[in-house]
């Protein structure tokens, strides 16, 4: 081989046309969640505001493109996607969704789902989206995103991390609302059964307004100990939730696109 | 679980060393079937940054089988990946022009195994059977490509060829079928490589 060939190969390793391994952690859109929060902070709204809760993506990326386009036409401040950004946790799927969500017109954050944790999935999520636990405030309310995919870790007893959740669920200054977001809903077979009662108790004690989830692919809602729980439709069903926060009232609307 | 594959990798490298003995012997035609007749070195293609290994040709070099050991370094891709890949290819056409020979169309398939505890071949106990329908340690892929080569007497090579391959891994194929307008040409990535015939 001529001497320039190795240099050409190193250079080419930076291009998208080459994939060195299905789980390679390399390039692409980074820190999507932190950048969405930053964009949100620049756009402080007074009074009422809206946000969108978007369901599982998996193998429905074209539907997600439609959803993102539909959301851009609405007056909403931000979007939270409920996990299962990918089907295989592959680097390429992470690239596709991080491109789509990271560059969308409305700031968009994502929770980690069980399908996003396979192979080097956790590293890929940290690279493209950031820490799996995230707490931020907007419009006087607090929003907490966390990892509830207990089965992926073999039910170790600290997924979800209730201590971290407890400290994030402190009082909101000004008496705003608390909203939590995690992929697997408490009570599901993939949620650590030993933590179902403690988390429902914790969320009730701290006065969480709504606990949002995905994973089951079908819309459902119920109230447990005075806290409302919502599961969103997966995106092949072409629906998402629009949440309107106005003073003490929180209204959830299921929207089709 | 990784042990039988490690043994396979070792065997493959033994075969590679075995081939130099064969190259020195004058009665090449009498070489037993398991002695490889070529070796390949590949860049990218989802089996490592670099992958190399022996190959065997059948049916007048229309069919080729290769066993490649691949590696991608942590400094480039965030984790050290070591793979063992079985690749089968069919080259239906063979053209020659002066000292050059071309195989303009190649179709093939590959199965690539990734070593390590982060990847499974059979679902770990924490899942019920069928929870995930794919195996994170074993990636099937379809290949399309072509090659051009010639002898390089100055390097003592009977035949050296360069090849390219378009690689469609399982997750790309599934996502392409479901989401053609998102995936588009992302169905494929490119691999480049060289083969030396002994």
**Residue A4: which H helix or E strand, with range?**
helix A4-12
Domain count, chain A: 1
Assess whether pLDDT exceeds 80 at residue B5: no
Q: What is the pLDDT of residues B7-61, one digit of tens each?
A: 445 444 444 444 444 444 444 556 788 899 999 999 999 999 999 999 999 998 8
Residues of B with Cβ-Cβ distance to A154 under 8 angstroms: 124, 126
- Dmax over CA atoms of chain B, in Å, equals 61
Residue A217 lies in a domain: yes
Q: What is the mean pLDDT of chain A?
A: 94
Residue A206 lies in a domain: yes
pLDDT given for residue A47 in this prediction: 83
Position A180 in a domain: yes
- What is the pLDDT averaged over residues A162-185? 95
Using 50, 70 and 90 to split pLDDT, how confident is the model at B106?
very high
Q: Please give the interface size between A and B, counted as residue pairs whose CB atoms are below 8 Å apart.
A: 115
In a domain, A73, yes or no: yes
- Please write the tens of the pLDDT for every residue from B121-133: 999 999 999 999 9
Structural domains of chain B, ranges and CATH numbers in brackets: 3-26+35-197 (2.40.160)
d(CA A249, CA A82): 23
- Cα separation, A245 vs A254, whole angstroms: 15
The answer to whether residue A41 is domain-embedded is yes
| A18: closest CA of chain B, how far (Å) | 5
What would the pLDDT profile of A82-101 be if each residue is shown by its tens digit?
Answer: 999 999 999 999 999 999 99
What is the per-residue pLDDT for A14?
A: 52
**Beta strands A134-138; A178-182: pairing state:** unpaired
Which pLDDT belongs to residue A114?
A: 98
Q: Which residues pair with B165 in a beta bridge?
A: B145, B191
Q: Domain for residue A197, yes or no?
A: yes
d(CA A103, CA A32): 9
Per-residue pLDDT, A173: 83
CATH code, domain with A101? 3.60.21.10
Average pLDDT rounded to a whole number, residues A92-121: 97
Please state, rounded to an integer, the average pLDDT across all residues of chain B. 88
pLDDT digits (tens, 9 = 90+) for B109-121: 999 999 999 999 9
User: Given CB atoms, is B126 within the 8 Å cutoff of chain A?
Assistant: yes
Nearest partner of A206 among A174, A167, A180, A169, judged by Cα: A169
Looking at the complex, does the CB of residue B81 fall below 8 Å from at least one CB of chain A?
yes
**Domain-located, residue A8:** no
Of B66 and B10, the structure prediction assigns the larger pLDDT to: B66
Task: Give the per-residue pLDDT at B1.
Answer: 37
Kind and range of the H or E run holding A162:
helix A162-168
Domain limits for position A84: 29-256
pLDDT above 90 for A145:
yes
Rounded to an integer, the average pLDDT of A179-205 is 98
Burial A90-113 (b: 16+ CB within 10 A, else e): bbbbbbbbbebbbebebbbbbbbb
Q: What pLDDT, on a 0 to 100 scale, did the predictor assign at position A62?
A: 97
B162 touches chain A (CB under 8 A): no
A12-70 tens-digit pLDDT: 555 689 999 999 999 999 999 999 999 998 877 678 999 999 999 999 999 999 999 99
Contact predicate A239/A252, CB 8 Å: no
């Amino acid at each position: 081989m001529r001497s320039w060939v190795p240099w050409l190969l190193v250079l080419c390793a930076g291009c998208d046309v080459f994939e060195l391994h299905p789980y390679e952690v390399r390039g692409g859109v980074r820190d999507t969640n932190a950048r969405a929060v930053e964009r949100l902070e620049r756009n402080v709204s007074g009074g009422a505001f809206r946000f969108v809760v978007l369901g599982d993506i998996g193998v429905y990326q074209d539907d997600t493109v439609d959803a993102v386009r539909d959301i851009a036409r609405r007056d909403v401040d931000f979007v939270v996607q409920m996990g299962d950004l990918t089907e295989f946790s592959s680097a390429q799927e992470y690239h596709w969704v991080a491109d789509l969500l990271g560059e969308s017109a409305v700031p968009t954050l994502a929770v980690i789902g069980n399908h996003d944790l396979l192979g080097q999935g956790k590293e890929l999520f940290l690279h493209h989206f950031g820490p799996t636990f995230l707490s931020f405030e907007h419009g006087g309310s607090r929003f907490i995103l966390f990892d509830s995919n207990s089965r992926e870790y073999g039910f170790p007893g600290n997924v979800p991390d209730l201590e971290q959740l407890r400290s994030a669920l402190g009082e909101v200054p000004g008496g705003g609302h608390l909203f939590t977001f995690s992929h697997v809903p408490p009570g599901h077979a993939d949620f650590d059964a030993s933590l179902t009662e403690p988390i429902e108790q914790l969320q009730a004690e701290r006065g969480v307004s709504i606990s949002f989830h995905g994973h089951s692919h079908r819309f459902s809602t119920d109230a447990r100990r005075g806290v409302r729980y919502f599961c969103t439709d997966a995106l092949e069903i072409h629906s998402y939730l629009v949440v309107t926060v106005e003073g003490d009232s929180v209204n959830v609307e299921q929207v089709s696109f | 679980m990784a042990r039988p594959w490690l043994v396979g990798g070792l065997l493959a490298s033994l075969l590679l060393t075995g081939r130099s003995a064969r190259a020195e012997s004058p009665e090449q035609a009498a070489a037993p079937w398991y002695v490889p007749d070529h070796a390949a070195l590949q860049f990218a293609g989802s089996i490592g940054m670099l992958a190399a290994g022996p190959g065997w040709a059948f049916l007048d070099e229309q069919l080729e089988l290769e066993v490649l050991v691949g590696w991608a370094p942590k400094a480039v891709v965030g984790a050290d990946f070591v793979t063992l890949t079985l690749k089968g290819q069919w080259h239906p056409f063979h053209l020659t022009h002066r000292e050059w020979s071309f195989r303009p169309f190649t179709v093939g398939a590959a199965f690539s195994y990734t070593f390590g505890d982060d990847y499974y071949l059979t679902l770990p106990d924490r899942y019920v059977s069928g929870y995930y329908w794919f195996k994170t340690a074993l990636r099937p892929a379809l290949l399309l490509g072509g090659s051009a080569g010639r002898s390089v007497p100055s390097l003592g090579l009977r035949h050296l060829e360069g090849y390219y391959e378009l690689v469609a891994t399982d997750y790309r194929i599934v996502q392409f079928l479901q989401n053609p307008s998102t995936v588009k040409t992302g169905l494929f990535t490119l691999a480049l490589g060289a083969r030396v015939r002994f």
